[in-house]
Amino acid sequence: MENNKLEKHYGLVTAICLVVGIVIGSGVFFKAEKILTATGGDLSTAILAWFIGALIMLICSYTFSLMASKYEKVNGIIDYAETVVGKRYAYFVGWFVSVIFSPALTSVLAWVTARYTCIVLGISDVVGGTCMTIAAFYLCLSYAINALSPRLAGKVQVSTTIIKLIPLLLMGIIGTVMGVKSGMTAHNFTFVPSAAEIVAVKPDYVPVASPLLTAVVASAFAYEGWIFATSINSELKNAKRDLPIALLGGAAIIAIIYILYYVGLAGAADNLTMISGGETGVMTAFSNIFGVYGGTLLMVFVVISCFGTLNGLMLSSVRGLYSLAARNDGPAPEIFASVDDKTKMPTNSAVIGLMICCGWLFYYYGANLAETPWFGAFCFDSSELPIVTLYAMYIPIFFMIIVKERSFNPFNRFVAPALSIVGSAFMIYAAFLSHGTGTVLHYLVVYAVIMIIGLAFNMKNRSSLSHKGKNE
């Protein structure tokens, strides 16, 4: 037997763990080397990039927390877009999140988790068949956990969130203390290697035109994911109270831990070692502080951490088409709106969500990992540009909060959304400078094609509803 209602089985702790657990877990490890490389080994600029990324996340999460305290429906971000902008715009936001944003990031997380698994197992090729097979396995495993039992998925999220904080806090505290004692931290903050020194340890290094902006865009991947917590809006026992606390409190926890961890890394290994280490740079830093065995154990925690993030992203991906179908929109709403009576999950939506994730994993490999890119000019970093696109789609929501939300006090109605617009616009500007106008425009072509497909489904459903209304 099936119905169209999701049970309310998540509490405040799970909501906070979802925010912290989705965001923390991969980007802080995956992008650490890229951010330092982008700034040319300038640690102060790298930490400034982490700070700016955190500030934008905090401002935007605060503004959305205001909406969360007032509205409670099926899927937070779509609900907020529908309330203040309109149903058509809300549909496009939901379509984008369901088909591009959520599955694209989920697929990248599957590869990142597999990448660190290979490092722990001593497999040097982190882009080959073995690694990609492990990535596909992790995708299917996270799907199984979320599709078969939402309660189990919630427990996995809480447990992996606790585990993933262990390596971050240990490195942040012990690395900082030891780095200050040894002078490594002071050395890394004062010594900026030349381009020639970086090329000597990293032959493929090419200085970027806008180091800070490139680093900020890279940090966006590490900070993104908090908005996914709104996907369980209708499954929270007290969403109007718990979701705002989870969004704002979780964002603050993340910002503090990230910056502390990055300072800890500066006390564990010099900048050139981190830049040259690539995917093994983090393990080198852990081994320097905790020894070979301790470093390996903490890398196992890193793998668990990454999987926890993957689990949280998959939690959103499997609900993507359901969130549209619950509004009688998207492809075959009568099929994807159904919720299985035994598992209490939108099973049909979950299956298609997994397939879309697999498609994006295939794309990420061909565009970013293959020795010769498969898609020509249409190769782009699907771990970063979709995030910037979502920031662009936030802007009309923030603007309409200013126009419509008269019940908010002046700061919440005008200042918070205005600052959120500025932060979002900054991310867009930074993306064009860091990725290049050509790459961004080719990405936008792919984006436009997918959105046009979504428009076709929307128009078909509107036509069907109109025809049904006339017959009645």
Q: Is residue 85 classed exposed, middle or buried when 0-12, 13-18 and 19+ CB atoms within 10 A define those classes?
A: buried
94: confidence class by pLDDT, cuts 50, 70, 90: confident
Q: How many domains does the chain have?
A: 1
Highest mean predicted confidence (pLDDT) among 76-90, 98-112, 212-226? 98-112
pLDDT at 445 over 90: yes
Q: What is the pLDDT of residue 467?
A: 54
Share of the chain above pLDDT 90, in %: 16
Tell me the C-alpha to C-alpha distance, in Å, between residue 373 and each of 30, 61, 264, 370: 21, 36, 36, 6
> Residue 139 in contact with residue 354, Cβ under 8 Å?
yes
Determine the residue type at 459.
M
In a domain, 127, yes or no: yes
Determine the residue type at 300.
V
Q: How far apart are CA 132 and CA 126, in angstroms?
A: 8
Highest mean predicted confidence (pLDDT) among 48-57, 155-164, 332-341? 48-57
Total length of the chain: 472
Q: Could you give the 3-state DSSP secondary structure of residue 332?
A: coil
Interval 117-153: pLDDT, tens: 888 888 877 778 889 999 999 988 888 877 766 666 6
Q: How far apart are CA 345 and CA 7, in angstroms?
A: 9
In a domain, 470, yes or no: no
Domain housing 354: 2-465
In a domain, 143, yes or no: yes
Interval 236-280: pLDDT, tens: 666 667 777 777 777 788 888 888 888 888 888 888 888 876 666
In a domain, 216, yes or no: yes
First to last CA, the chain: 28
Q: What is the pLDDT of residue 200?
A: 87
In a domain, 109, yes or no: yes
What is the overall mean pLDDT for the chain?
Answer: 81
Q: What is the mean pLDDT of residues 360-382?
A: 89
Reference 242, options 407, 18, 410; nearest CA is 18
Helix (H) or strand (E) holding 229: none
In a domain, 460, yes or no: yes
Return the number of other C-beta atoms located less than 10 Å from residue 373's C-beta.
13
Reference 368, options 117, 135, 47, 93; nearest CA is 135
Reference 215, options 272, 262, 285, 167; nearest CA is 262
Q: What is the pLDDT of residue 225?
A: 66
4: confidence class by pLDDT, cuts 50, 70, 90: very low
In a domain, 279, yes or no: yes
pLDDT at 217 over 60: yes
In a domain, 472, yes or no: no
Q: What is the pLDDT of residue 2?
A: 43
- Read off φ and ψ for residue 3, nearest 5 degrees: -140, -175
All residues at 6 or more sequence positions from 269 whose CB lies less than 8 Å from its CB, including other chains: 184, 277, 281, 284, 285, 288
> Residue 109 in contact with residue 309, Cβ under 8 Å?
yes
Eight-class DSSP state of 10: B
Interval 292-334: pLDDT, tens: 888 788 788 888 878 877 877 787 787 778 878 877 787 877 8
Q: How far apart are CA 155 and CA 132, in angstroms?
A: 27
* Residue 106, domain CATH: 1.20.1740.10
**Which residue did the predictor score with more confidence, 177 or 14?**
177
**pTM for the full predicted model:** 0.78
pLDDT at 343 over 70: no
> Residue 440 in contact with residue 432, Cβ under 8 Å?
yes
Q: What is the pLDDT of residue 261?
A: 87
